[in-house]
């Protein structure tokens, strides 16, 4: 019975897609904000089709051994029938039909709904199909935040399959999958803003400034992911996003991504369209982002000027953090010499966890490289496991402090992930915080070398009743990582305390 039900569900999806190919001018209006509704497919009656088209549907459901249908079309329809997950449907104004069967195969179709939409748009451009709801502007034409505003709704309350795919072992929201979706949504928003009458730019994730969980989400509630461009520099864009449950307007998770644009030919930085904020809130946010960007540039200049440090060539936030690192190293020496007298201390290296994998084609992005959201999800889940084993109790995710993309990861690369607890601290509400760093390396066994590709920093919290050991560095490099993260967290606390912080 279950097999018959599954076949019927897939048949309805395939019939719907086939009907769209027979009526190419039919469309569904899409709201100007590009709201994408993730829902079950509407059934279409087989009886409404002509005799010829009904025969094509029948041959799709039960393909005969020989048919007069062209082989390319038959192959394309069979591929569609085999790749029709029940939870991949958007309210779109056009349906892409490609005659070349090979072009219908895309790794994005194996990922999340947002990645599906991102790939759909890339395929439409590759096929020469203009997106109906998007006007084409000159490359230097200013665009409003509303132009790129995008949202997608997940009906968790009515879709058991969707809840199951986003559930962790404890019945809570699987945060790693949400992070994966956020990266895809941010890339889509950046691509919308950069659309112009010129050849498309290469848009890559430069960093994730911050992702903060503000309260706990219930997987039984419908959720909406939404975002827009908040600030634009010469070649960079800052994307702000939020995840909101249906019962409240207050987001349970907020995120800030930074993208950079590259020229597809030279690979150098390329200009992006200016941003024209309209409302007062949009203007205030733009000014705040511009001030933060300028402060970061100034900080980089100061660190470059102070590189010739007497202790090492490492870049220190300022002198007080260098002193802090030296104090930590003194404790480390004491722990090495008198371990039984030092009490509740542990070395960073003793908290480490790692894994490695081969990057598969199903994880590729529109540039044929490994999708950044996939890397972030794998790093998050390793960081979660590290904090779990360190604390001895199920941790709770608090925030992504910063993610830096150093170099791309290619399909077929051997990827090594290594996670450590940098240090612990106590929050204002009395909870113990674990600050985790996950580093991703591309290993080249043929050359006996590794290259750092990504750095991820996460914060998890444990139950306030647990007393966790203090983590100590065993080298100046480990101390440097810890105090730099302390400095970043301090800057975030100051920013949060500012009157204009949202």
Give residue 108's pLDDT.
Answer: 52
Question: What is the rounded distance in angstroms from the CA atom of residue 76 to the CA atom of residue 256?
Answer: 39
Give residue 386's pLDDT.
Answer: 97
Ramachandran category for residue 172: left, alpha or beta (phi over 0 → left; psi -120 to 50 → alpha): beta
Q: What is the DSSP string of 398-436?
A: EEEEEEEE-S--BTT-EEEEEEEEEEEEE-TTSPEEEEE
pLDDT tens digit sequence for 417-449: 999 999 999 888 888 999 999 999 999 999 999
Give residue 312's pLDDT.
Answer: 53
**Does pLDDT of 29 surpass 90?**
no
Give residue 256's pLDDT.
Answer: 95
Q: Give the confidence band of 135 by pLDDT, cuts at 50, 70, 90.
A: low
pLDDT tens digit sequence for 166-178: 999 999 999 999 9
Instruction: Name the burial class of residue 160, with classes exposed (0-12), middle (13-18) and buried (19+) by CB atoms within 10 angstroms of its CB.
Output: exposed
Three-state DSSP state, 172? coil
Average pLDDT estimate for 251-278: 92
Q: Give the confidence band of 466 by pLDDT, cuts at 50, 70, 90.
A: confident
Give residue 488's pLDDT.
Answer: 85
Question: What is the rounded distance in angstroms from the CA atom of residue 39 to the CA atom of residue 7?
Answer: 18
Give residue 34's pLDDT.
Answer: 45
Question: What is the rounded distance in angstroms from the CA atom of residue 410 to the CA atom of residue 408?
Answer: 6
Quote the DSSP letter at residue 173.
B
**Residue 244: partners with Cβ closer than 8 Å, 6 or more residues away:** 223, 224, 226, 250, 251, 252
Question: What is the rounded distance in angstroms from the CA atom of residue 453 to the CA atom of residue 369?
Answer: 12
* Residue among 298, 485, 295 at smallest CA distance from 400: 485
Average pLDDT estimate for 255-261: 94
Portion of the chain with pLDDT greater than 70, in percent: 68
CA 249 centroid distance within chain: 22
Structural contact between residues 205 and 257, judged by C-beta atoms closer than 8 angstroms: yes
Question: What is the rounded distance in angstroms from the CA atom of residue 352 to the CA atom of residue 306?
Answer: 31
* Residue in the block written with tokens 């591309």: 442
Give residue 381's pLDDT.
Answer: 97
What does each C-alpha distance from 303 to 296, 317, 326, 402 come to in angstroms?
10, 7, 19, 19
Give residue 67's pLDDT.
Answer: 37
What does each C-alpha distance from 369 to 107, 117, 179, 361, 364 come to in angstroms?
11, 18, 18, 8, 5
What does each C-alpha distance from 492 to 82, 253, 378, 439, 497 come to in angstroms?
48, 16, 25, 22, 9
Give residue 499's pLDDT.
Answer: 53
Three-state DSSP state, 110? helix
Of 74-83, 212-221, 262-271, which range is least confident? 74-83
Question: What is the rounded distance in angstroms from the CA atom of residue 198 to the CA atom of residue 246?
Answer: 39
Three-state DSSP state, 209? strand
Q: Which residues of 378-409 are buried (b: 16+ CB within 10 A; e: fewer)?
A: bbbbbbbebbbebbeeebbbbbbbbbebeebb
Kindly state the helix (H) or strand (E) to which residue 439 belongs, with its residue range: strand 432-444
Q: Which residues of 231-251 are buried (b: 16+ CB within 10 A; e: fewer)?
A: bbbebbbbbbbbbbbeeeeeb
* Residue among 269, 254, 255, 257 at smallest CA distance from 207: 257
Give residue 329's pLDDT.
Answer: 93
pLDDT tens digit sequence for 392-412: 999 999 999 989 999 999 999
pLDDT tens digit sequence for 52-109: 444 443 443 333 333 333 433 333 333 333 333 332 233 322 222 223 333 455 555 5
pLDDT tens digit sequence for 324-362: 999 999 999 999 988 888 878 999 999 999 999 999 998
Structural contact between residues 414 and 356, judged by C-beta atoms closer than 8 angstroms: yes
**Does pLDDT of 35 surpass 70?**
no
Give residue 123's pLDDT.
Answer: 65
Q: Quote the mean pLDDT of the chain.
A: 76
Give residue 92's pLDDT.
Answer: 27
Average pLDDT estimate for 111-118: 64
Give residue 351's pLDDT.
Answer: 96
β-strand pairing of 236-245 with 449-461 = unpaired
Give residue 153's pLDDT.
Answer: 87
């Amino acid at each position: 019975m279950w097999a018959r039900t599954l076949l019927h569900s897939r048949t309805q999806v395939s019939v719907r897609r086939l009907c769209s190919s027979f009526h190419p001018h039919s469309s569904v209006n899409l709201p100007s904000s590009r709201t994408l509704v993730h829902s079950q497919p509407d059934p279409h009656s087989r009886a409404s089709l002509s005799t010829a088209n009904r025969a094509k549907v029948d041959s799709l459901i039960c393909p005969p051994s020989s048919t007069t249908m062209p082989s390319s079309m038959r192959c394309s329809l069979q591929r569609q029938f085999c790749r029709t997950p029940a939870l991949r449907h958007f309210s779109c104004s056009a349906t892409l039909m490609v005659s070349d069967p090979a072009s219908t195969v895309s790794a994005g179709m194996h990922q999340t709904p947002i990645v599906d939409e991102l790939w759909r748009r890339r395929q439409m451009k590759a096929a020469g199909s203009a997106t109906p709801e998007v006007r084409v502007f000159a490359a230097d034409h200013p665009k409003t935040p509303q132009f790129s505003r995008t949202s997608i709704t997940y009906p968790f309350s009515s879709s058991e399959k969707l809840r199951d795919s986003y559930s962790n072992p404890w019945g809570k929201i699987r945060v790693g999958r949400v992070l994966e979706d956020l990266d895809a949504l941010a890339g889509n928003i950046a691509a919308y803003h950069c659309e112009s009458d010129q050849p498309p730019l290469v848009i890559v994730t430069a960093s994730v400034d911050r992702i903060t969980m503000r309260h706990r989400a219930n997987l039984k509630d419908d959720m909406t992911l939404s975002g827009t461009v908040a600030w634009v520099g010469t070649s960079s864009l800052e994307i702000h996003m939020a995840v909101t449950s249906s019962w409240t307007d207050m987001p349970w998770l907020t995120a800030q991504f930074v993208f950079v644009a590259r020229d597809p030919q030279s690979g150098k930085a390329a200009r992006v369209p200016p941003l024209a904020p309209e409302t007062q809130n949009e203007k205030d946010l733009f000014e705040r982002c511009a001030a933060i960007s300028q402060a970061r540039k100034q900080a980089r200049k100061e660190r470059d000027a102070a590189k010739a440090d007497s202790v090492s060539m490492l870049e220190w936030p300022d002198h007080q953090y260098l002193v802090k690192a030296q104090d930590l190293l003194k404790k480390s020496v004491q722990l090495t010499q008198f371990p039984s007298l030092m009490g509740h201390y542990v070395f960073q290296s003793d908290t480490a966890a790692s894994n490695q994998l081969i990057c598969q084609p199903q994880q590729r992005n529109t540039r044929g490289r490994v999708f950044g959201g996939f890397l972030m999800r794998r790093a998050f889940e390793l960081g979660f496991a590290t904090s779990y084993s360190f604390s001895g109790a199920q941790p709770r995710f608090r925030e992504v402090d910063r993610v830096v993309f150093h170099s791309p990861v290619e399909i077929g690369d051997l990827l090594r992930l290594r996670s450590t607890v940098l240090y612990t601290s106590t929050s204002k509400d009395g909870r113990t915080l674990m600050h985790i760093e996950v580093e991703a390396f591309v290993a080249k066994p043929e050359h006996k070398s590794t290259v750092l590709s990504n750095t991820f920093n996460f914060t998890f919290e444990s139950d306030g009743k647990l007393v966790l050991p203090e983590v100590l560095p065993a080298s100046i490099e480990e101390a440097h990582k810890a105090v730099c993260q302390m400095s970043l967290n301090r800057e975030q606390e100051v920013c949060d305390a500012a009157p204009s912080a949202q």
